[in-house]
Amino acid sequence: MGTYTWAVILGLFYGFLSRLTMLKTDFRQYPTYHHGKVIHLSLGFIAAALGALAVPALLEKNYTAVTFLALAAQQFRDVRNMERETLSRLDQNELVPRGSAYIENIAMIFESRNYIVIFTALLVSLVTISIEKTWGTVWGTLLGFISGGLLLLINQKMLCAYHVEDLADVTVGHVDVHQADIWVDGIYIMNVGLKANQEIIKARAVGIVIHPHDLTAQVTLSNLGQRQAILHDASTILGVYRDTGEPALVPLIKRNLTDGRIGVFLLPEEKDVEKARRVVAKVAILESALRLPMKASARRRAL
Amino acid sequence: MDRQTWVGSILAVITTQKERVQGGAPIFIVDNLDELEKLSFTLEKILDAEVHALNQETYIVVRHG
């Protein structure tokens, strides 16, 4: 085996493995099954190869390796743009769209995961080579394995996002149909004129109320992109009792301005209120929606 | 008026009280509340827009966003 063989193999292995462990096809079906997964894993493999080869290339005074990394960053940004465009076009065919903020979140996470793969492969390769030079191949390989395992654990930690239940209490609300006005626990939702639609809503609608814990939660959950994401995720799991040509039967989410509560109005295929409550509680907070007004220095000065 | 600043546009008005409505949108006058419901339902499906009740006698069909 050559001087850098173990470094490259371990870098490639752990880089690819980190992408594999970060790939979750869950109820949100992104990436889409089979072919979508192949695209993500292939790009992950390329990123792992770049990361693994960067350190040996630089040690051999082949400084064009840095150019390749810059090229790779450009490529991953282009792929992110492609993902965004594809998801945006497909969003037009959804009964309850994701919204541009959710799509942007997905595209950004996609790009960032490729960079995480590059760094993982690079770090494992660097550790292996450094230890090999001092203590020999056996120790270098062993510590390469250990560092790879540690980095995988760190990557899993980075996957953890906030959920709605971390910022607010989520309770089941009561849907009131008062003539044409629809309310969820005193939060006004909308006006539905036709009696046929009112009857459908009385029979099938589910109301959920989100009570933010503090100002941070209130500002974050008020974000329109975040609210649309809640509706999309809830409708994906619970189904939605609507079709094109049924504009009145639309899930909505409205804010009560006096107390900051948020009313979620859903029309699931199956009326299970506790399941709906759990689903809404588990919706991830979008990175673009997260606000931290409590940490703003202006606010601290005011206090 | 710049159309982009409109949140929704009224596509039609259906009412039993012809003396209380006028304006640019198509107005449909009906004889009773049953006919109001039936016509509003038909217009909702044709226009793919939402029917809102201003009061018991007057419905509007609105295209949102």
Terminal-residue alpha carbon distance, chain B: 16
| SS3 label, residue A254 | strand
pTM, to two decimals: 0.84
Please give the average per-residue pLDDT across A164-175, as a whole number.
Answer: 95
CA distance A116 to chain B (A): 39
Question: Does position A273 have pLDDT exceeding 50, yes or no?
Answer: yes
Contact across the interface for B49 and A247, Cβ inside 8 Å: yes
Q: Which of A194, A195, A242, A265 to mutate to test the interface with B (most CBs of B within 10 A)?
A: A194
Q: Where are the beta strands (DSSP E) in A87-225?
A: 168-173, 175-178, 181-184, 187-191, 206-212
Which has the higher per-residue pLDDT, A44 or A295?
Answer: A44
Interval A133-152: pLDDT, tens: 888 888 889 999 999 999 99
Rounded to whole angstroms, what are the CA distances from A85 to A78, A91, A175, A255, A272? 11, 10, 37, 30, 35
Q: Which residues of A touch B64 (CB under 8 A)?
A: 247
Rounded to whole angstroms, what are the CA distances from A101 to A151, A194, B7? 29, 33, 20
Contact across the interface for B37 and A195, Cβ inside 8 Å: yes
Tokens standing for A141?
A: 């390989």
Which has the higher per-residue pLDDT, A98 or A156?
Answer: A98
Question: Does position A31 have pLDDT exceeding 60, yes or no?
Answer: yes
Q: What is the pLDDT of residue B5?
A: 41
Tokens standing for A72?
A: 């790779």
Interval A228-269: pLDDT, tens: 999 999 999 999 998 877 888 889 999 999 999 999 999 999
Please give the average per-residue pLDDT across B24-45, as a whole number.
Answer: 94
Contact A252, A189 (CB under 8 A): yes
- Please name the member of B50, B56, B60 whose beta carbon is closest to the beta carbon of A248: B50
Q: Which of B28, B37, B50 to mutate to test the interface with A (most CBs of A within 10 A)?
A: B50
User: What residue of A is the nearest CA neighbor of B64?
Assistant: A247
Contact across the interface for B53 and A193, Cβ inside 8 Å: yes
Contact A121, A47 (CB under 8 A): yes
User: Which pLDDT band, with edges at 50, 70 and 90, does A25 fall under?
Assistant: low
Bridge-partner residues for A228, per DSSP?
Answer: none
- The mean-pLDDT minimum among A76-85, A217-226, B34-43 falls in A76-85
Tokens standing for A154?
A: 């760190």
State chain A's mean pLDDT as an integer: 88
- Please name the member of B37, B48, B56 whose beta carbon is closest to the beta carbon of A194: B37
Q: CA–CA separation, A175 vs A160, rounded Å?
A: 33
Would you say the C-alpha torsion A209, A210, A214, A220 has a positive or negative sign?
A: negative
Tokens standing for A194?
A: 């036709």
Q: CA–CA separation, B32 vs A195, rounded Å?
A: 15
Question: Does position B38 have pLDDT exceeding 70, yes or no?
Answer: yes
Which has the higher per-residue pLDDT, A277 or B3?
Answer: A277
**Beta-strand pair A206-212/A262-266:** antiparallel
User: What residue of B is the nearest CA neighbor of A192?
Assistant: B52
Q: Can you state the angle between helices A100-135 and A64-91, rounded to 10 degrees?
A: 150
Contact across the interface for B52 and A193, Cβ inside 8 Å: yes
Please give the average per-residue pLDDT across A171-197, as a whole number.
Answer: 94
Interval A94-132: pLDDT, tens: 889 999 999 999 889 888 888 999 999 999 999 999 998
Q: CA–CA separation, A265 vs A208, rounded Å?
A: 7
For chain B, the residue count is 65
Q: Which residues of A touch B33 (CB under 8 A)?
A: none
Q: CA–CA separation, B57 vs B29, rounded Å?
A: 10
Contact across the interface for B44 and A179, Cβ inside 8 Å: no
| Furthest-apart CA atoms within chain B: distance in Å | 37
Q: What is the pLDDT of residue A288?
A: 87
Contact across the interface for A180 and B48, Cβ inside 8 Å: no
Question: Does position B2 have pLDDT exceeding 60, yes or no?
Answer: no
Of A295, A227, A235, A236, nearest in space to A261 by CA: A227
Q: Does an H or E element contain B36, and which?
A: helix B33-47
CA distance A287 to chain B (A): 25
Q: What is the pLDDT of residue A157?
A: 82
Please give the average per-residue pLDDT across B12-34, as a whole number.
Answer: 93
Question: Does position A35 have pLDDT exceeding 80, yes or no?
Answer: yes
User: Which pLDDT band, with edges at 50, 70 and 90, does A30 fall under?
Assistant: low
Contact A156, A19 (CB under 8 A): no
- Please name the member of B44, B52, B64 whose beta carbon is closest to the beta carbon of A180: B52
Q: What is the pLDDT of residue A298?
A: 54
User: Which pLDDT band, with edges at 50, 70 and 90, does A185 fall under?
Assistant: very high
Terminal-residue alpha carbon distance, chain A: 65
Q: Where in chain A are the domains?
A: 5-159, 164-294
Exposure string for A29-58, b = 16+ CB within 10 A, e = fewer: ebbeeeebeebbeebbbbbbbbbbbbbbbe
